[in-house]
Structure 1
Amino acid sequence: MILAVGRALAEVIRRLGQPVVIAEMLTGFVLGPAALGELFPQWIGAVFPVSGIGGLQALGEIGLALFMFVVGAELCLPSSAPRGARLASTLVGTLSIAVPALLALAIAPLLFSYAPVGVAFWPFALFFSLAMATTAVPVMAHMLKERGQVNSDAGMISLSAATLGDVFVWLSLPLVLGIAKAKTDLAGATGTIMGLLVLVAIAMLLVRPLVATRWSRAPAGKVGMGTIGALLAGALTFAAITDWLGLHSVFGALLFGLCLPRDKRLLAALEDAILPISALVLLPCFFAVAGLNTTGDGFRGVGPVLILVLMVAIIGKLAGGAMGAKLAGRSWQTAVSVGVLMNTRGMMELVVLKIGYDAGLLSGTQFSMIFIMAIVTTAMTNPLLNLIDRFLRQPEPIGLHAASGSSDVADTTDIEPA
């Protein structure tokens, strides 16, 4: 049922010019208590029997770990981009995190009234700020590819800036979870952070060089099933370790992905081997379980607060991204386009939310509000870009050349580890 509803929604969403990820996110919402439960409450127990939730959650978590492993392997920055583009990416990345995070801190006391009992203010506020600062690189890249704008000035700046932002968010999340844990278990939190630091050291100083050496000896042009199997074992082992440390399994999978060489052949082989089963079968289970955290009660009486969350999310990303691009000397068309692209949250927002919910930092009401924000901000991107192309279109000086003074267009195929 999950897969069938997801495919049906995907067809509708695609015809509306929206990315398929919105349909995937909506599937859990439609089948969950907030939609199906409100219309046909007697059906929820039949669709999601209590005895099956654990198995569904396990499948979803494995799919999410595999997906984040591929994201870690993809996470890279253009190495040959002109200096002007790198400066613009840095400014956009910094401001598109700082502005929404600060605005989120300003309204955090209002949302804290909906927090679960026993949660301290600062762990919640820091997590909420990170959630509002998240951008979805995979969804953004897919949108730009469909529009033929991956190598545009706005596209390159946004992708690089979003990558910087993702690195910051995924490095900060474990620390925020550690702070939250320290409120109730200081010794346990200290052990978690120390264990994570040891794992990062092992990954960067031992595993990464070892994988690079083994990969350099692999036959040119071939990625065998033995290699894929070994890498999958490594990713799931790291995922199990971070889960054992009291953090979410996605951190370990992402960390192992960062250990891999930035090589197109390897990435293509991983995507071919992992994404079909992960994205098409296992991840929908994750979306379905996430949708069970949304409730109809979560939207009653919170209309003004939900509108405020939407305003902070949208204004923070638009203003931060556009300000960064303007400070780097870009035109208004490019600056506004960058701000719109940085407002794309997609699945990454849902992953961050699920981590916070599982850690007890979010209530069902808070989860529901931020869940809706993620869908709305992602759905806004394509229509707003179309409006910009229609009303703000103007000739760029020479695209990237103007900022760099170079006659060579940046080659985004050369990459370096983030």
Structure 2
Amino acid sequence: MARILLIVGGGIAAYKASELIRLARRAGNSVTPVLTAGGAHFVTPMTLAALAESPVYTSLWDLKDETEMGHIQLSRAADLVLVCPATADLLAKMAAGIADDLATTLLLATDKPVVAAPAMNVRMWQHAATQANVATLRGRGIMVIEPDEGEMACGEYGPGRLPEPAAILAQLPLEAPALPGHPEFQAGAAPGEGLVPQPAAGPLAGKHILVTAGPTHEPIDPVRVIANRSSGKQGFAIAAAAAQAGARVTLVAGPVSLPTPGGVTRIDVETAEQMLAAADAALPADAAILVAAVADWKVAPSPTKLKKSAGPPRLEFAPNPDILATLGRHPLRPRLLVGFAAETGDLLAQAEAKRNAKGADWIVANDVSGDVMGGGTNQVHLVTAGGDEEWDHLPKEEVGRRLVARVAEALR
């Protein structure tokens, strides 16, 4: 049984906290609710208390609560802290280390894993300030669940909806899954009988795998970027396969519109510098598989939109950091370092040159002169110190599974 400290933020999605409590308790977990002042506008303490069969904490200045429990003890008594819904305001306070009420004080004082499930208007979620806060939190090891895409209470459409409670609980890093019907839920157990913790299974159990995926976007002005056609599909397939093999997976993703694979901690970034910072913060790792198509060049972006009437802009390019080479000489270099080489000619020679120059153990090379970037299939060569191994033309999911199997074999 896991002890969950649930912080309910002030958004319309707060009503889903009731169902989340019901499902969590049905699966054998205990829930202690903390209701923010904003959250109390959408759901009452009495409702949460009845469902949780627990006191509901609302104020930092409640003398009785401080005498009997105290906010420091409350922050340490749980196995996991879940912020749901996590509003833009709560995410900003968490990133800045602000502690001006009970919820934010608990978050700053806890030494337990923290998970945030954001819910807000699509434009608020996509705002640069919110995305920077999310990147900061993920860089500190806080799990931020990707919001769903759909129609908002305000009538707009896009990412920002709170996922359904069952989907949130399925992603929590508990010792055992938090939902009946999960493969690791004890066979034959009746709902409400709880979970039997199972040890992590799979060839990568106990290993940490770092994966980068997608493109990077290097801003030219507020509306234009230097980018490429990478869809992120291959990197996401590899991350999913690693999680299925039992690994703890950190996925650093450039700007892509793909759902987060189950069991994967995702960190969203835009630029090459942000991707390097996130990868560095994720170390140490047993293996790093750098699939992202990182832009080689950047420019000093204009603070205002470059007008067509002014004529072609004069852009001064500067090299971006080389993430593969940086990890190749890093003091915390992963035991196995795998890079990708997307080329359009002389594939094997360029892949071997890249492997040597960057200090990588393996290079996965593919010819991108066709529809590989954005397509659903891939044909690759695995280039190692022992030579070249050509794989058949396969779905990207199968390429991911094969590569992960080889990684597990190497780490064994």
Larger fraction in strand: 2
TM-score norm. by structure 1 comes to 0.23
| TM-score, normalised relative to structure 2 | 0.23
| Structure with max Cα Rg | 2
Name which structure has the greater RCO, CA cutoff 8 Å, separation 6+: 1
